[in-house]
Amino acid sequence: MSLPAVNPVDTTAAALRATIDGKAKPLGALGRVEDLAVQLGLIAGGPPPAFDRALLLVFAGDHGLTAEGVSPYPSSVTQAMVATFLAGKASANAFATAVGAELRVVDAGVDAELPPHPALRDEKIRRGTRNAAVEPALTADEVAEALSRGARVAREAVAEGFQVLALGEMGIGNTASAALLMHRLTGAPLIDCVGRGAGHDDAGLARKLATLERAAARTDAIEPAEVLAQFGGLEIVMMAGAVLGAASARVPVLIDGFIVTAAALAAIRLEPAVQDYCVFCHQSAEQGHRRMLEALEASPLLRLDLRLGEGTGALLALPMVRAASRLLSDVASLDDVLNGRL
């Protein structure tokens, strides 16, 4: 499998940290915003852009696991929600408008033929994955193709002029897939990875866990590409490719909640250098998300008890990213203030 080359950032942050420490403020007074500014500066190799052009890519796909009742909603909701995004009426649309970001949908594997739309990109690999409870969800070739297409989508967005990419997803059953990926890629017990997803009651949660235990018992796969083939969703695999593509183009990628973090985890296991480019935007209410972030040694910017997905948490963090970039470019140094050089 050929993955895009990713250069690690120059982790020598002393000069950037000294620049921030010399701004007209007490040392460390802006807390983790200063750390974010350093990360953005390291990615840019100097003062970062203002990130005026931001794009949310919502990857959509269906899951064969839904046949086992792992979600309280049918797969048809995926198609209905894609139509809602394209009509501009989803939560992600409202948030994107609020923070000045563009939204596009990528059909990675919706189990329907979607009509053309200016904001829809058709990258469908197949109409949904196979049922991972009884067989591998994807073939090795399908995983390779989904990674390649995701990387291409991201790189083409950067070539178009977008300075920061946010990732979101839509796919009924995808918390089940993400839980299995987390289990195998972090080694966490499956019971710690499985949550209520879109709203299971206790009986539904027990059914979901039993189904995922059956899926996990089928295979002992731990190598990232094989784990993606066994348990991945097409939207998740394509998002992993988008993380790789964004990192190869040296732009920050805003990581949303549990499912997008699972995609980022897979990308990092495939190419560890991509973690330098990931901004982990929030810790969701889904049970396994905190532990997955801990496995990545990632500290999220926000904790708002979100559990919607769609990229909503990434969009809410975008103003913080823009503010952090301006700390480096727009704030006077203390020396200039004290010597009247404003």
User: CA 242 to CA 157: how far, in whole Å?
Assistant: 10
34: annotated active-site residue: no
User: CA 339 to CA 342: how far, in whole Å?
Assistant: 8
128-162: b (≥16 Cβ within 10 Å) or e: bbbbbbeebbbeeebbbbbbbbbbbbbbebbeeeb
User: CA 174 to CA 108: how far, in whole Å?
Assistant: 13
Q: Packing angle between helix 258-270 and helix 174-186, nearest 10 degrees?
A: 40
The CA angle 299-301-307, to the nearest 5 degrees, is 95
Q: Packing angle between helix 140-160 and helix 224-231, nearest 10 degrees?
A: 100
Residue 102 β-bridge partners: 55
User: CA 215 to CA 77: how far, in whole Å?
Assistant: 23
Set 68, 235, 271, 310: catalytic member? 310
Name the strand (E) or helix (H) holding 157.
Answer: helix 140-160
Residues annotated as part of the active site: 310
